[in-house]
Amino acid sequence: MATCCFSGHKYSFEYQNSEYRKRLTDIIENLIVNENVDTFYCGKRGDFDLLCWRITSELIKKHPHVKIYHVLSYFPTGTDERSTESKLRDEIQTIYLLEERVPPRYAIIRTNQCMVDISDFVLTGVDHTYGGANTALEYAEKKHKKIIYFNKEREEKNKQKRI
């Protein structure tokens, strides 16, 4: 079986569009059915991540063997509240991947790297060349992960960069 993590920008209102939702649903379902992905990791920090998380959560009903993990960047203190949505779904588990102490300002970057490290696939919605999501994408490229670009323009730029 295989694993996949999500990486996208914090604010992307275009992902509210039903066409984008349909495309993402098709991509995630293809990962489950044709690539044998049974585990997904999501930080749920941005619009792209949240949409992927919601779609995967819905697909679990159709594919009950699939698991999705909400990956925390900061060690849970016991007072942290999980969203009502995740409390209601027993298929969703919250995990913390960092094994070493990381200063809070680097916690998200390091968590993203950990998700990439344990994933076979990275589904990315990155469309600009700055920010934490772009840093995670560049890390995944250096690690030679199988990257699925939701943004085809970014995919083409990366292909040209490699030539």
* pLDDT at residue 91, as a whole number: 44
Task: Look at the alpha carbons of 47, 17, 92, 98 in this order and tell me if their dihedral is positive or negative.
Answer: negative
Q: What residue spans define the domains of the chain? A: 2-162
What is the overall mean pLDDT for the chain? 83
46-50, 82-86, 119-123, 159-163: which has the highest mean pLDDT? 119-123
CB 42 within 8 A of CB 49: yes
The amino acid that residue 46 corresponds to is G
Q: Both tokens of residue 96?
A: 């913390």
What mean pLDDT is predicted for residues 39-54? 90
62-67 long-range contacts, CB within 8 A, separation 24+: 63/32, 63/33, 64/91, 65/38, 66/32, 66/37, 66/38, 66/39, 66/40, 66/91, 67/38, 67/39, 67/40, 67/91, 67/93
Q: Say yes or no to pLDDT of 97 above 90.
A: no
Mean pLDDT on 145-155: 81
Instruction: List Cβ neighbours of 89 (8 Å cut-off, separation of 6 or more).
Output: 57, 60
**Whether residue 160 has pLDDT greater than 60:** no
Provide the pLDDT for residue 74.
Answer: 83
Domain 2-162 indexed as CATH 3.40.50.450: yes
pLDDT in tens, 65-88: 999 999 988 876 665 545 444 443
pLDDT category at 139 given cuts 50, 70, 90 is very high
Residue-wise pLDDT for 9-31, tens only, equals 766 656 567 888 899 999 999 99
